[in-house]
Amino acid sequence: MPCEVESRFLVLYGSQKGQAQSIAEEISELASEHGFTAEISCLSNVEKYNLDSERGPVVFVVSTTGDGEPPDTALRFVKKIKSLPSDHFSHLHYALLALGDTNYANFCNCGKTIDRRLQQLGARHFYPTGHADDGTGLEIVVDPWIEGLWDALKKAFAKMSATNQEATAQGAIAEKKTEQDSQIQEKLDSSVVSLHLLKLSDVETKKNVAEPSVSESENSETSGAPLGASLIRSVPPLSGSSLNVPALPSSFLDVCLEEIPAEEVEGAQEDAHHVAEEGFYEVPVSRALHLTGDDAVKSAILLQLDLSDQDLLYQPGDAFDVRCPNRDDEVEQLLLRLGLKHQRNQRVHLQLRKDTKKKGAQLPSYIPKKCSLEYLLTWCLEIRSTPKKAFVRSLVEWTRDGGEKRRLQELCSREGSADYNRFIRDTNTCLLDLLQAFKSCSPPLSLLIEHLPKLQPRAYSAASSGLRTPGRVDIVFSLVEFPACPEHPERTGLCSGWLTHHVSTILQPSGTKVLAEKARSDSPKIHIRPRANNIFRLPPDPSVPLVMVGPGTGVAPFIGFLQQREKEREEKKDTAFGETWLFFGCRHKDKDFIFREELEKFVENGTLNHLKVSFSRDEPDGNEPKTKYVQHQMLLHSKNIVSILLAKNGCLYVCGDAKNMAKDVNDALMEMIAVELQLDKLESMKTLAKLREEKRYLQDIWS
């Protein structure tokens, strides 16, 4: 439908890792196809937009980070809107897409906070809020939400123009709504609903319809037996269906490769410059020790990092980002597959395409100006990331074989969503896997730079206290392993796999005494960057009792807490210290009970008053009740825990796996509060929420 003059709307995003930004960019790119003009800005770019005078509809896309905190780029905005008077945004019509992860507490909290506050400030929805869950796949909500947005914008513009006409005709502010207006408003203002409810059949927009180009028999192998679907093969009805394929994303980069003159070969120097710019410090690994036995299912490794040459201070509860490269063999295969094997040492020169239609296109800031191709693929791009549908759509254009083209179209289409989830998202299929499977696909380097995200460092909690071991920080990590599947071979996690290999020359077997060791000139080095956590801290008042819950490597920050407490107890003899509880969990007492000796020592010297351990795969000793996981052990001590939290003003800390443990612990806590205080579920939830608000129930969890 053609749009009237009034077709401009504003897209504002608050992004931490770039997901909200890329969705906002997608919206703004698609806008012109639907007859709209979008202006896009990051929420932190306050000079680029002005909501006080904004008359067009506004679309917010905001993510949530940490324990429900706003992303850094939205912090100021959230703070600012909290202080505005109640009708400040009564002129504003908006839609909001909140991104979150249900594996974490406070799902979509930043989006919900902004939404609530905008409502309080008088702003009105022109489209229901979407809550997209990274835990199940953002696109499940994001895709239909974007599909429905265009229709909602049309209605919003129609309504706004009707209101304006009325205002002009009557020479008055259009307070009175027409019957039609109020019907629309009723729909739009209806309480925030999840976009799971959006009926796709209501969405008129049909774009890029691809007819079936390959018959089932053409698209399957000629073994005779009927074959099931796979990454490269589809079955009816998908193989015979017309497809709604997303619009082709506009390319925005020109990339050329140049020989580097011999006198300018940068190598190490250039790397050092890039590393320093990103805030990393190079530190030697003075000691590496297996904490688990050879027969443990998951191996955990302790690294002692020598900080003595760096001005790096930290508190227990903080973490450190570790910079890691992509694997050499994967970079090699990618170079080979792109036909750029002999250009690896050439310099990558990036420019914005003059004819690009991409709104707000920018050169990626994380790619150093003069880096070589090999450096780019090793240190700058997350080549293991799961290609988004927009990337898959772009790959279609660079695929020669008709059958492969069709399958890629299916995988990015609306009809092929289940196959995309099954063969790409859920299996963490990466670009290299796609290129191995789709042999005739040869994308240009520019496409990779446009679509692959920045290679992110991985965080590891400090497992030590600087008070006890000045000039040193310990971290502990478990080696992440992914079994082979039809889409890709067996793999280890990028950083945990690299670290294990990187320190292999000094790696000591478990059982070796953990002594402080000085770094040597040949000690392996890694790059780290402090990542302060100003909330996950020991309470300033040492008399406050603590409950710590940290199974597996989740125990790391509590080792730091307890080392700090131990030292403080030695130094402040007259001070009263609150009681301390630690709930730890692992599979077997003899294989993966990490930090066992150190924890038992804390118990002996009174630093830790109660150490409660659950072994998920061992039978209990004697008459002890079986407690498979930490939450079961906690339930046995619910009286004490509830009393610490609600009678003695204590603090509860949870650290580790976000996927199951944190939720199970939360459920157990609710149950304990309900039983001990005779409350119903709602009241018990409220009590927990209050503890969170008071920062006495703290989580540091990761997936």
List residues near ligand FAD by CB under 6 A. 319, 384, 428, 458-461, 476-478, 480, 482, 491, 493-497, 553, 556, 700, 702-703
Distance in Å, CB of 483 to ligand FAD, minimum: 8
Count, residues in the chain: 703
Q: Please identify the residue of the shown chain whose CB is closest to the bound ligand FAD.
A: 493
- CA-angle at 290, arms to 534 and 296, nearest 5°: 105
Distance in Å, CB of 582 to ligand FAD, minimum: 16
For residues 134-173, b (16+ Cβ closer than 10 Å) or e, as one string?
A: beebbbbbbbbbbbbbbbbbbebbbbbebbeebeeeeeee
Distance CA 232, CA 220 (A): 9
| Complex with ligand FAD: residue 292 or 640, whichever CB lies closer | 292
- CA-angle at 106, arms to 101 and 108, nearest 5°: 55
Distance CA 578, CA 3 (A): 67
| Complex with ligand FAD: residue 377 or 476, whichever CB lies closer | 476
Bridge-partner residues for 209, per DSSP? 244
| Complex with ligand FAD: residue 535 or 689, whichever CB lies closer | 535
Distance CA 317, CA 512 (A): 26
Distance in Å, CB of 28 to ligand FAD, minimum: 29
Distance in Å, CB of 681 to ligand FAD, minimum: 30
| Complex with ligand FAD: residue 321 or 410, whichever CB lies closer | 321
**Cβ atoms of 198 and 145 closer than 8 Å:** yes
Residue 119's identity, in one-letter code, is Q
Nearest to 487 by CA among 439, 429, 410: 429
| Complex with ligand FAD: residue 245 or 594, whichever CB lies closer | 594
Distance in Å, CB of 281 to ligand FAD, minimum: 18
Residue 258's identity, in one-letter code, is E
| Complex with ligand FAD: residue 240 or 325, whichever CB lies closer | 325
Distance CA 77, CA 149 (A): 24
Residue 20's identity, in one-letter code, is A
| Complex with ligand FAD: residue 387 or 403, whichever CB lies closer | 387
**Cβ atoms of 703 and 658 closer than 8 Å:** yes
Distance in Å, CB of 551 to ligand FAD, minimum: 12
- Residues whose CB is less than 8 angstroms from the CB of residue 242 and which lie 6 or more positions away in sequence, other chains included: 209, 210, 211, 212, 415
Distance in Å, CB of 407 to ligand FAD, minimum: 21
| Complex with ligand FAD: residue 494 or 634, whichever CB lies closer | 494
Distance in Å, CB of 536 to ligand FAD, minimum: 9
| Complex with ligand FAD: residue 384 or 591, whichever CB lies closer | 384
Distance in Å, CB of 318 to ligand FAD, minimum: 9
Question: For strand 319-322 and strand 458-461, is the pairing parallel, antiparallel, or unpaired?
Answer: antiparallel
- Residues whose CB is less than 8 angstroms from the CB of residue 179 and which lie 6 or more positions away in sequence, other chains included: none
368, HSE (Cβ side, Cα atoms, 13 Å): 24
Nearest to 361 by CA among 445, 446, 253, 248: 253
Distance in Å, CB of 276 to ligand FAD, minimum: 22
Place of tokens 């093969």: 233
Distance in Å, CB of 378 to ligand FAD, minimum: 15
Nearest to 480 by CA among 468, 492, 465: 492
Q: DSSP of 320-384, one letter per residue?
A: EEE--PPPHHHHHHHHHHHT-GGGTTSEEEEEE-TT---TT----TTS-TT-BHHHIIIIIB-TT
| Complex with ligand FAD: residue 255 or 319, whichever CB lies closer | 319
| Complex with ligand FAD: residue 383 or 644, whichever CB lies closer | 383
Distance CA 108, CA 115 (A): 11
Distance CA 210, CA 244 (A): 6
Distance in Å, CB of 498 to ligand FAD, minimum: 8
| Complex with ligand FAD: residue 500 or 627, whichever CB lies closer | 500
Distance in Å, CB of 545 to ligand FAD, minimum: 24
Place of tokens 């429905």: 148
| Complex with ligand FAD: residue 54 or 419, whichever CB lies closer | 419
Distance CA 668, CA 665 (A): 5
Place of tokens 């406050």: 544
